[in-house]
């Protein structure tokens, strides 16, 4: 059973209070008086950074303006790959037989967050290692079961410039050898699955593996254990190392290998 935190219980009680007049009012979680909500999601637009071989986001206008009936009406069609902007990787993305996007349980998408800061600086090939996890645990104790681990490498400062963020402005297969950005060291991923029961892992770069990876070991290690990944997560410097609570809700695509993700965090006062 995943560990329930006080904040987790508070959110559940706040939702229940809407249905029961005898339940204490915990609306302070939502009205801003008990803390603040932080959006960890980049805007989805034609300017969003997508994987070089993925189809970019396209928004087509169906209607926009006044109708013959005298009222305003707007409608659009959109097209997008699963893996661009702030998005979720479902385990099936790199692990045959593992869960798809629609099968990710809420228990993996909602819970406490451990923010591990390991700045990449000017090293685009930096990999967050076991030593960064050990340093976090020396300050806060072992990562509790059911925690979402978020890696803050400082790379988000480069969004949305593809040259600075991806390492290249090229598109298509020719861009792949030119990718340079930080990721999680496969040894650290292996340590996590062997020693901790995390719910999900996210970071502020385009991929869980660093840009020069060709075998995507970190993806394969985590996803084999049905641990979903969040890529291109925004605003991580605004979160404390411990104490925030994350809600990450992807588009519920049946059979999908990923999808657009709206991820937010609550930071209590």
Q: pLDDT tens digits, residue range 68-106?
A: 999 999 999 999 999 999 999 999 999 999 999 999 999
What's the whole-number mean pLDDT along residues 166-179? 98
Contact 4, 112 (CB under 8 A): no
- pTM across the whole model: 0.91
Q: Is residue 25 part of a domain?
A: no
Other residues' Cβ atoms within 10 Å of the Cβ of residue 255: 10
What integer pLDDT is reported at residue 26 of this predicted model?
72
pLDDT of 8 higher than 70: no
Q: What does residue 82 show for φ and ψ, rounded to 5 degrees?
A: -70, -30
Q: How many domains does the chain have?
A: 1
Contacts of 242 (CB under 8 A, 6+ apart): 112, 113, 114, 115, 140
What's the whole-number mean pLDDT along residues 116-140? 98
Q: Of 203, 227, 235, nearest to 145 (Cα)?
A: 227
Contact 119, 174 (CB under 8 A): no
Distances (CA, A) of 104 to 92, 107, 149, 228, 259: 10, 8, 16, 8, 12
Peptide bond into 269 cis (omega under 30): no
Q: Is residue 75 part of a domain?
A: no
For residue 27, what pLDDT band results from cuts at 50, 70 and 90? confident
Q: Is residue 8 part of a domain?
A: no
What integer pLDDT is reported at residue 199 of this predicted model?
98
Distances (CA, A) of 240 to 136, 151, 245: 12, 12, 10
Other residues' Cβ atoms within 10 Å of the Cβ of residue 66: 9
Peptide bond into 160 cis (omega under 30): yes
Quickly tell me which residue has 């559940």 as its tokens: 12
Please give the Cα distance from 27 to 111 (Å, whole number).
18
- DSSP letter at 156 equals G
Quickly tell me which residue has 């060291």 as its tokens: 185
pLDDT tens per residue, range 218-266:
999 999 999 999 999 999 999 999 999 999 999 999 999 999 999 999 9
Q: Is residue 201 part of a domain?
A: yes
User: What percent of the chain has pLDDT above 90?
Assistant: 88
Q: Is residue 19 part of a domain?
A: no
Q: Of 131, 121, 191, 187, nearest to 152 (Cα)?
A: 121
Mean pLDDT for the chain overall: 93
What integer pLDDT is reported at residue 233 of this predicted model?
98
More confident residue, 16 or 35: 35
Q: Which CATH number does the domain housing residue 100 bear?
A: 3.50.30.50
pLDDT of 3 higher than 50: no
Q: Is residue 151 part of a domain?
A: yes
Helix 186-195 and helix 130-140: axis angle, to 10°?
40
Q: Is residue 258 part of a domain?
A: yes
Q: Is residue 88 part of a domain?
A: yes
Collapsed DSSP state (helix, strand, coil) of residue 238? helix
Contacts of 267 (CB under 8 A, 6+ apart): 35, 36, 37, 38, 238, 239, 240, 243, 244, 245
Residue 236: alpha-carbon gap to chain centroid: 10
Please give the Cα distance from 132 to 177 (Å, whole number).
27
pLDDT of 23 higher than 80: no
Collapsed DSSP state (helix, strand, coil) of residue 173? helix
- DSSP letter at 231 equals E
Domain holding 133, by residue range, is 36-54+82-268
């Amino acid at each position: 059973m995943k560990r329930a935190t006080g904040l987790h219980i508070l959110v559940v009680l706040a939702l229940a209070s809407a249905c029961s007049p005898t339940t204490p009012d915990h609306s302070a979680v939502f009205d801003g008086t008990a803390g603040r909500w932080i959006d960890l999601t980049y805007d989805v637009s034609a300017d969003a950074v997508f994987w070089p071989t993925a189809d970019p986001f396209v928004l087509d206008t169906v209607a926009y303006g006044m109708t013959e009936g005298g009222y305003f009406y707007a409608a659009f069609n959109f097209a997008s790959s699963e893996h661009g902007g702030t998005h979720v990787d479902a385990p099936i993305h790199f692990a045959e037989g593992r869960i798809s996007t629609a099968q990710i349980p809420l228990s993996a998408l909602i819970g406490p967050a451990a923010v591990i800061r390991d700045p990449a600086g000017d090293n685009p090939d930096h990999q967050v290692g076991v030593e960064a996890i050990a340093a976090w645990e020396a300050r806060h104790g072992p990562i509790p079961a059911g925690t979402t681990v978020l890696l803050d490498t400082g790379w988000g400062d480069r969004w949305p410039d593809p040259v600075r963020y991806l390492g290249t402005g090229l598109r298509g297969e020719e861009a792949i050898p030119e990718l340079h950005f930080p990721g999680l060291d496969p040894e650290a991923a292996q340590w996590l699955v062997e020693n901790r029961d995390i719910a999900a892992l996210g970071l502020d770069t385009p991929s869980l593996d660093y840009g020069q990876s060709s075998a995507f070991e970190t993806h394969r290690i985590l996803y084999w254990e049905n641990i979903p990944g969040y890529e291109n997560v925004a605003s991580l410097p605004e979160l404390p190392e411990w104490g925030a609570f994350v809600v990450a809700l992807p588009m519920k695509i049946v059979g999908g290998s990923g999808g657009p993700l709206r991820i937010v965090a609550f930071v209590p006062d």
